[in-house]
Chain A
């Protein structure tokens, strides 16, 4: 958690926390796993009223932040959602809303944003492709100009909220260069297949684009000039993923420490065994480190700092790698009950592993960090 919050930010955090606790307790999360929709649209609209969808959108386009720093605000919401393994397309919808707000024409923005802001419609960023890196060079889905239209061909997977989205922001390549298009999920030629996945309420999909025709008005930003937007979107996603992971891990660590005080063996509390105390000390170190780098990354991306791309990736590497391990350690502390379906531990592990593996996993991001370090060092 950011240690320097304004009273308004604290209010956003607290109202979000109370709303989540009362509307989607873990029993509800478990029940939603059997619901094809994975979340209730009416519930999402009530969340939107709390500000969940407006924070990254410019005021002139109907959005608005709490503190003047929308990403820092939204990271608080993401942390709370992580702590509750909440349903809802928080990352997917917000990153698309941000892109539309920043890059889209007035016509496109006024057509799409009101629905996203009110929560009536949902959006997904179609970026990952099978076997490809999440980099501009990794994009293989083709956009071909055909008169006044563009024709999209290719496959995106896994697409976060792809099965629920009304609007798809598609990152494509082609003779024009890297471009982004906003496509209705209902467009002819779009084939959406929900994937089975670890997270009980965050569903991913495979989306095939077979000769999907879109008008030139569907272009978001500059045709062929989307690499800066791509980077900005990715930084936003990485920060929000880390905030969610940290929120989830903080909660798990909390109740695991409590368990160590409550549970006894050989007539002693678990918390009195040095072998376990030392593991808890390590976990505390990792948790504080994960929180620290997430806050640093959030601020760097918020401020558009020169090293924002590096810090966001560093956060993804550290948080994405360390926090799932930390939760596995917490499972170990619980013993047998920790690997049962009935205990809630696996709900958190599912969410953090999902975030770890998507939008560029730690191994991929570590490589990017090395390349950036190499460039900064001025070496060939």
Chain B
């Protein structure tokens, strides 16, 4: 059974009956997580992860629960955000295709909605909502992560196509993805922000080499891509040529919305419950019994306080941005909170686990905690470092003066960078 929005955009189903119907459908059609990682679900390996996510997304689409807030003409349901909230409410604790949540639904598709041509919107938005195509962002480069506008990857016009050369890095699950938004330089004779373009790039095609990067915890989600004369049709530019900074800025805005919980397109709440569970697990694993040791209790209490306050903050900032109390850049506040909270939670888990976090038996859950500690700084680095985040908060929320820069007033060709500019081989 599916709901239809009327041609006039009116709703065929009120919120209450939607909520009830969604609840019933979720219980009958989705699998409970039962303690599984909410992100990976019940996938047995990486390949299975993609297949499962795509299949579940298709199931959601067929039942009328996909793309709830996307326009009907692009495969969505055209419903207000309250319907998405209702679906989140009833589907919490069930296996969802969270692989699609970020960046596909909350960052990429909203940006295509903002800047795409009619053809681009019709081609790409429904395919993602149906679970057919997964997206990735090609933003950071090996020569610099935080300075996005300093991109050295180049796209040179050659008749009907652009030819892409360079390298991107820190793209999550690139090898699992079908399409990417890629920031590249199309004009080197103008200042840095004026010569960028955003390209829609098919991930699996000649000239693209993807290397998985092994993380300290042994996982290999992050990738580096090498572009070697990759051909991109000229009609696959998102927005205008050389107006890529405008597009990329919107991309980052949608990323902040996603991070701050104010995106209407998110399929799951961004709470910290999962991280908090690790602290509880560490306490459980204590031989002494965590709840009876006053030192451990202080740490458990601290962890619970941090996660609950973070949840409250996410809600407050989302409302503040929506009502204009704070500028959109305030999305950086929950981003900073998330990084600092997760760093502390990793340390708390280590503290509680004691020596069992560093020397453990098979099947001892405390071993994971020591390994997680090794990658502790990740949440303070990915998605823009907490240092850049503090710059954004102080400059764009509090209005303090910008950091001095020596790359704004000259052609990008004359800017000092970390690499020799790669040349297009003609």
Give chain A's interface residues, CB within 8 Å of chain B: 3-4, 257, 260-261, 269, 271-272, 274, 277-278, 280-282, 284-285, 288-289, 291-293, 295-296, 310-311, 314, 317-318, 363, 365-371, 373-374, 377, 379-380
Contacts and interface: CB of A to CB of B under 8 A. Distances in A.
A18 to B, nearest CB: 22
Nearest to A260: B400
B334 to A, nearest CB: 9
B297 A371 contact: yes
A169 B354 CA distance: 46
Nearest to B393: A281
Contacts of B323: 3
Interface in B343-392: 387, 389-391
Contacts of B3: none
Interface in B287-326: 289-291, 294, 297-298, 300-302, 304-305, 308-310, 312-313, 315-317, 319-320, 323, 325
Max count, chain A CB within 10 A of own CB: residue among B290, B302, B312, B389: B312
B298 A367 contact: yes
B403 interface: yes
Contacts of B43: none
Contact of A317 (B301, B340, B393, B395): B301
A8 to B, nearest CB: 19
A374 B309 contact: no
Contacts of B391: 274, 277-278, 281
A288 to B, nearest CB: 6
Contacts of A373: 280, 300-301, 304
A299 to B, nearest CB: 10
A1 to B, nearest CB: 9
B397 A284 contact: yes
14 contacts: A3-B320, A3-B323, A271-B394, A282-B336, A284-B333, A284-B397, A288-B316, A289-B310, A289-B337, A292-B316, A311-B308, A365-B301, A370-B304, A380-B289
A291 B391 CA distance: 22
A379 B400 CA distance: 49
Contact of A295 (B284, B308, B310, B312): B312
Contact of B401 (A272, A293, A296): A272
B205 to A, nearest CB: 41
9 tightest Cβ-Cβ pairs between the two chains A and B: A366-B301, A277-B394, A281-B390, A370-B301, A292-B316, A292-B312, A281-B393, A370-B297, A369-B301
A292 B313 contact: yes
A277 B298 contact: no
Nearest to B299: A370
A282 B387 CA distance: 11
A367 B320 CA distance: 32
Contacts of B301: 317, 365-370, 373
A371 B333 contact: no
Nearest to B323: A3
Contact of A318 (B309, B336, B398): B309
Contacts of B300: 369-370, 373-374
Contact of A366 (B298, B315, B394): B298
A295 B316 contact: yes
B325 to A, nearest CB: 7
B319 A3 contact: yes
Nearest to B289: A380
A280 B394 contact: yes
B297 A367 contact: yes
B285 to A, nearest CB: 12
A238 to B, nearest CB: 13
A296 B312 contact: yes
A3 B323 CA distance: 9
Contacts of B387: 278
Contacts of A311: 308
A361 to B, nearest CB: 12
B291 A374 contact: yes
A272 B304 contact: no
Contacts of B305: 314, 317-318, 366, 369
A367 B292 CA distance: 11
B392 to A, nearest CB: 8
Nearest to A319: B309
B116 to A, nearest CB: 34
A195 B289 CA distance: 41
Contacts of B304: 314, 369-370, 373
A370 B401 CA distance: 42
A293 B308 contact: yes
Given A318-B309, A370-B297, A284 B393 contact: yes
A280 B392 CA distance: 11
A379 B333 CA distance: 34
B403 A380 contact: no
Nearest to A2: B316
B423 to A, nearest CB: 35
Given A274-B391, A281-B391, A295-B312, 13 more contacts: A3-B320, A3-B323, A269-B401, A271-B398, A272-B400, A277-B391, A278-B394, A280-B400, A285-B313, A288-B313, A289-B337, A292-B316, A292-B317
A242 to B, nearest CB: 12
A277 B315 CA distance: 25
Contact of A271 (B302, B315, B333, B400): B400
Given A278-B387, A285-B333, A369-B305, A291 B316 contact: yes
B298 A370 contact: yes
Contacts of A293: 308-309, 312-313
Contacts of B315: 292, 296
Contacts of A281: 336, 389-391, 393-394, 397-398
B312 to A, nearest CB: 4
A265 to B, nearest CB: 14
Contacts of B284: 379
Max count, chain A CB within 10 A of own CB: residue among B310, B333, B398: B398
Contacts of B394: 271, 277-278, 280-281, 284
A261 B400 CA distance: 8
Nearest to A261: B400
Contacts of B320: 3, 288
Nearest to B307: A314
A318 to B, nearest CB: 5
B316 A278 contact: no
Contacts of A374: 290-291, 300
